[in-house]
Chain A
Amino acid sequence: MLEIRQKYTFFGVLLYVASTIFVLYLAMNQPETEVWNGLFWMIQLFICVNAVAKSFLAEGKGRMLYYYTIAGARDFILAKLLFNAMLMAIMSLINWLIFSTLLGNPVIRWLPFLGINLLGGLSLSLVFTFLSAIAARAQQNAALMAIMGFPLIIPQLMLLIRISNIVFSDVIQAGLTGIVLLLAGLDVLVVALALILFPFLWKD
């Protein structure tokens, strides 16, 4: 429906990812697996804040009005959520790629980590898309989004870090599906809340 203009923001975020990880590489060299894991998810978080914050904050007032005339509130937020989810999926993969080239790749089980990575990217992008909508309505910068978003995202990040620990060893741990289902359930909850609550933010 919309988007895919402004290529430079995409490459801007890409450059941001690459340079951040490069700085990390200079500072840390090859960290241990636990540190690797923690750093990986922190970088994911910051990529998400930077990439997704653009979605509402960068829109001018005129363009918002234009969207308002062509699309309903529900369609609009759904489109934004989908676009950001895809963007974040690509970013997650790129993040992993650069991480494994520069900081070493302790991941032994590839497939589960791929899934966890995509799921984590999805969770982060959904939450921050909605918060970005709120922050944009408050006419505020990304700092407000970070203040609102970080406490909300802590539990999900903790769960993600916890389940991604399993990919560093061959031992199969129990309780994995429970956490995955929990995260997926939270994602569904966020989408539902966004669909219900966004119309209130939209009309003005």
Chain B
Amino acid sequence: MRKSWWKIACVVLLVYTVIGGLLFRVPAREILGETIRNLYFHVAMWTVMFTLFTVSVVYGLKYLRTQNLRDDIYAVNFAKTGIVFGVLGYSTGFMWASYTWTEYATNTQIFKEPKLLGTAIALLIYFAYMVLRGSIPDLDKRAKISAVYSIFAYAMLFPTLYILPRMMESLHPGSQGNPALNPNDSDPRMQMVMLPAFVGWTLLGVWIATLKVRLDLIKEKSILNA
């Protein structure tokens, strides 16, 4: 009865990503070497994080319109899962940078790297969101206030994430334009794995989030039905 095709697609895509990502031929580049395979994992974390945070904000908006606690549960769980993927992306990016940039950068420079900084800011904002939620005991009030904060923060954050990296010099690829990466740069061999990887990881993120949502919905059943 439940539409499960996308979960099957998720598993298939991720299996393909891991096998293909580790075994397929990759273009030999200086410095990067075989670490170029990290592209399939590191960059994909960002797409997942952004997707989940966006979904979270959409549910925040929906909550403000409907005042339905279900929407709040959706919003908070998508945000939580987004944080997990944000941390994963941050750590994979940091490790990758510390192996490939060592000749040019020390750890302190990596911390100042604009894109990592942007993620650090995003993560801090969502940690603050969690602290804010923790500090309000009343359910309806908590949902309302945290929805307002997440919309405000999201609207403030994304213009700066979009603009800031374009204004600072950095070692991160794509400094002269698109901050994330330019699909035209990538070798067609890599695109074969990269695009399925993005979709697969995003589906996985959504899957985890919906599982958490369902768990919370069962926990809060008595309140929701009252």
Contact = CB atoms under 8 A, between A and B. Distances in A.
A152 interface: yes
A204 to B, nearest CB: 8
Q: Which of B135, B147, B159 has the largest count of A CB atoms less than 10 A from its CB?
A: B135
B135 A138 contact: yes
Interface in B144-187: 144-145, 147-149, 151-153, 155-157, 159-160, 163-164, 167
Interface of B: 64, 117, 121-122, 124-125, 128, 131-132, 135-136, 141, 144-145, 147-149, 151-153, 155-157, 159-160, 163-164, 167
A152 B125 contact: yes
A151 B155 CA distance: 13
B148 A134 contact: yes
B155 A147 contact: no
B58 to A, nearest CB: 15
Given A134-B148, A201-B144, A189 B156 contact: yes
Interface string A124-146: 00010010001001111000100
Contacts of A190: 156
Contacts, number: 74
Interface residues of A, number: 30
B83 to A, nearest CB: 13
B170 to A, nearest CB: 13
Across the A-B interface, give the 4 residue pairs with the lowest CB-CB distance, nearest first.
Answer: A155-B160, A151-B124, A148-B128, A151-B125
A186 interface: yes
Interface of A: 127, 130, 134, 137-140, 144, 147-148, 150-152, 154-156, 158-159, 162, 175, 179, 182, 185-186, 189-190, 193, 197, 200-201
B121 A140 contact: no
A121 B156 CA distance: 17
A127 B149 contact: no
A151 B149 CA distance: 13
B148 A144 contact: no
Contacts of A130: 152
A157 to B, nearest CB: 11
B128 A151 contact: yes
